[in-house]
Amino acid sequence: MRVELVKAFSFEAAHRLPRLAATHKCYRLHGHSFRVEVAVAGEVDPELGWLLDYAEISEAFEPLRRQLDHSCLNDVPGLENATSENLARFVWDRLEPRFRG
């Protein structure tokens, strides 16, 4: 049976969107409470009865949470243009290899 496990995480951070016009409100430094959902899909192990331990998802995300929490995202290499879409790609690029089936 194929399943999808989803675990949500949150962190607080500031960012600005430097490629917008200087008159746009998001050009200025501002903060958010960010919520990230990590979804892992695959086949249930018939012996264990699960896909994987939720703790593995937490363990994989924790270094990213520490890196991003209470930071200015634009200062994180790879997030100089810290849009939500670029943040999603940043997280994906770091977690996908760990959970690649």
- Between CA 66 and CA 87 the distance in angstroms is 15
pLDDT attached to residue 101: 65
- Between CA 95 and CA 98 the distance in angstroms is 5
pLDDT attached to residue 48: 96
With CA atoms as reference, report the closest residue to 98 among 66, 52, 65, 67: 52
pLDDT attached to residue 45: 96
**Using an 8 Å Cβ cutoff, are 10 and 36 in contact?**
yes
The token duo for 1 is 């049976």
Interval 57-69: pLDDT, tens = 999 999 999 999 9
CA 97 to chain centre: 14
* pTM, full prediction: 0.92
Interval 72-101: pLDDT, tens = 999 999 999 999 999 999 999 999 999 986
Interval 44-56: pLDDT, tens = 999 999 999 999 9
